Chain A
């Protein structure tokens, strides 16, 4: 039965045709499988990642024959023994882990007020400025930014020239641990703010007013109401910052000038300088394991934060 022409506008007809086309091209019975079909790209990506890891696992048990520069045919734990016992690797690992803790702590301390101000400010202009300032570094990239710090902090850099104006001798600001930490904090800040801001947005402003009227000044309001409620964001932000710092490559390489290598830098050297694929793989596998354990411990201690998959909210 056809409804009268006037009651049936032309764009309904167009949609009808489209619907029929879709029906022939993608029959209903396919639709049930659609969610699974959509997983295919993810599964492929993960599969490739796992294949790579398996390949690495394989090479990590082979040693480099320094005469032929070929990997041995036999399996040995030699690479792991070296990675775990040699002082050099131990000190690099310690340095990476401690740096990632320090960077996480400093980044969170700076990111929370930043995110809070961005979320709560009454002034749209300030909010826009804070947002743009946050995203701007993303357009520049890590290496260029590290290079920027070289220009600013170098021995002939802007800061030292400025100090020179006052007759102060130049200070060595680069190629030390603090330079790397500083660079990492600056690099991680946007990630942390972006993870924390939604958690703060989710806290109704009325809760803070309530805490106020119940006798809490702003510090105690922050400590007893805002921070506990923002915890999911803090945990998620902290995790992202910690893992990204632990595995960072460019900033220790450029701002550390070779003296402050992290695990990634050492792994890079094994693969591309000494061509010891075996040792490089062993170090990589250890880094993956150590990182996973660290994340596991944090999940245990603080919950899974806003990365929660299931049942994390009590």
Chain B
């Protein structure tokens, strides 16, 4: 690869950055599938792009893989601009949504394919294939045809095939989406193990928030083709950048109101007849007195005060009526209508097994929470 003259160098040409996406946009007709996306991914990190279906995740990933050129912006891999480099000359391993294994080849032939295409020394290919079959715990399965393997085994072949040529970057486009929950959770940890073992920089795409939080070093939340937030999983969860992120990750309640005062990071607002407070959400909050606002609070931050808890532990205590009781096994989810907050509907968890049969629909209870857990947008 030659360094062509480009006007936009990556932000700082930092040698620790593996992928740098600069103001990338992709337009189909008059529809923007990806809008002005920018981020840097350090080498060796596991990044997950999280977003609902149709939010442009695959589009962004395919641009990085080299299937098509972005309409605007530039992508850098290891500091080199790659917009003009075709997919087959980028050293990127990709695992596709539907795996895209070659059905006319055996598992071993699939894994050998990238080595053959890269004209590696034929004598070393068999060994390398064997090594990667072992890495994904498929030793001895090399001779199987693809359709003679189970779903999980096919996943493993696909991963081995994407990694066997030691790419700079591994891309995963929701390859686990089609698996059942148990296998999916097993494969998530397996991805993480392999990624750690090889230290390969990885971009994973998913609409499964649990997967994003479990496996990633960094999470990017996308919606409508726009990056909403890039943060470590814990921060994306604790400090959502906007209402979309707050809603998309975790079980989140919203209370709508009118801002009555802003004091530094603290926002006072009125919902229904009640005065509430919360912290201003996002990195650049735009809240002024009199503006409409939505306050987000996680289901697990709201406690049921009635019985057990003492009301004075909470800054806010409201009255509610149980509208529905949902048994989820390890916990019960109560859906509670709060007349004081303009009939807002709040979801609250109850993990106390002794309390599992405590409340029936129609029961009146007290709810309590603290203002620091409420993010106002």
Chain A residues with CB under 8 Å of chain B are 204, 206-207, 209-217, 220, 224-225, 228-229
Shortest Cβ gap from A224 to chain B (Å): 7
Instruction: Write 29 A-B pairs (CB below 8 A) sorted by A numbering.
Output: A206-B98, A206-B100, A209-B87, A209-B96, A209-B100, A210-B94, A211-B113, A212-B86, A212-B88, A213-B65, A213-B66, A213-B67, A214-B88, A214-B93, A214-B114, A214-B161, A214-B162, A214-B165, A215-B114, A215-B117, A215-B118, A215-B165, A216-B88, A217-B88, A220-B117, A224-B117, A225-B102, A229-B102, A229-B103
Residues of A within 8 A of B94 (CB): 209-210, 213
B contact residues around A228 at 8 Å (CB): 104
Question: Given that A209-B67, A214-B161 are contacting pairs, would A204 and B100 also be in contact in the complex, using a CB cutoff of 8 Å?
Answer: yes
Cβ–Cβ < 8 Å partners of B89 in chain A: 215
B92: A residues at CB distance < 8 A = 213
Number of interface residues of B (CB under 8 A): 27
Q: Are A212 and B113 in contact (CB under 8 A)?
A: no
Query: By CB atoms of chain A within 10 A, which of B88, B94, B104 has the most?
Result: B88
Complex CA gap A214/B111 in Å reads 10
A212-B67 CB under 8 A given contacts A206-B98, A228-B104: yes
Contacts of A216 in B (CB 8 A): 88, 113, 117
A228–B113 CA distance with the chains assembled, in angstroms = 14
What is the interface of chain B, defined by CB distance below 8 A to chain A? 62, 65-67, 86-90, 92-94, 96-98, 100-104, 113-114, 117-118, 161-162, 165
The answer to whether B104 and A229 touch across the interface, beta carbons within 8 angstroms, is yes
A33 to B271 CA separation, bound complex (whole angstroms): 74
Q: How far is the CA of A220 from the CA of B165 in the complex (A)?
A: 17
B67 touches A207 (CB 8 A): no
- By secondary structure, the A interface counts as helix
**In-complex Cβ contact of B113 among A206, A209, A214, A217 (8 A):** A214
Which residues of chain B are near A225, meaning CB under 8 Å? 102
Docked-complex contact A213 and B113, CB < 8 angstroms: no
Per the bound structure, the CA–CA distance linking A37 and B87 in Å amounts to: 57
**Nearest CB in chain B: distance from A133 CB, A:** 27
Question: How many Å lie between the Cα of A225 and that of B105 in the bound state?
Answer: 10
Give the nearest-CB partner of B94 in chain A: A213
Q: How far is the CA of A207 from the CA of B94 in the complex (A)?
A: 12
Contact of A206 among B66, B86, B96, B161 (CB under 8 A): B96
Inside 8 A of B117's CB, which chain A residues have their CB? 211, 214-216, 220, 224
| Chain A min CB distance to B25 (Å) | 20
User: In the assembly, what is the distance between CA of A204 and CA of B102, in Å?
Assistant: 10
A206 to B67, CA, bound (A): 11
A185 CB to nearest chain B CB (Å): 29
Cα separation A210 to B158 with both chains bound (whole Å): 10
| Least distance between A192 CB and chain B CB atoms (Å) | 21
Contact of B98 among A204, A213, A224 (CB under 8 A): A204
B62 neighbours in A (Cβ, 8 Å):
209
Nearest Cβ on chain A to B282's Cβ, whole angstroms? 37
The answer to whether B67 touches A224 (Cβ under 8 A) is: no
Ranked nearest first, the 6 interchain pairs of A and B with the lowest CB-CB distance are: A215-B117, A210-B100, A214-B114, A206-B100, A212-B87, A216-B117
The minimal Cβ–Cβ distance linking B63 to chain A, given in whole angstroms, is 13
User: Roughly how many angstroms separate A262 CA and B57 CA in the complex, as a whole number?
Assistant: 60
The answer for the CA separation of A217 and B90 in the assembled complex, in Å, is 11
Question: Do A207 and B88 form a contact, CB below 8 Å, given A216-B117, A220-B117, A224-B113?
Answer: no
| A198 CA / B65 CA spacing, docked (Å) | 29
Check A207–B114 contact: CB distance below 8 A. no
Whole-angstrom distance between the Cβ of B19 and the nearest chain A Cβ: 15
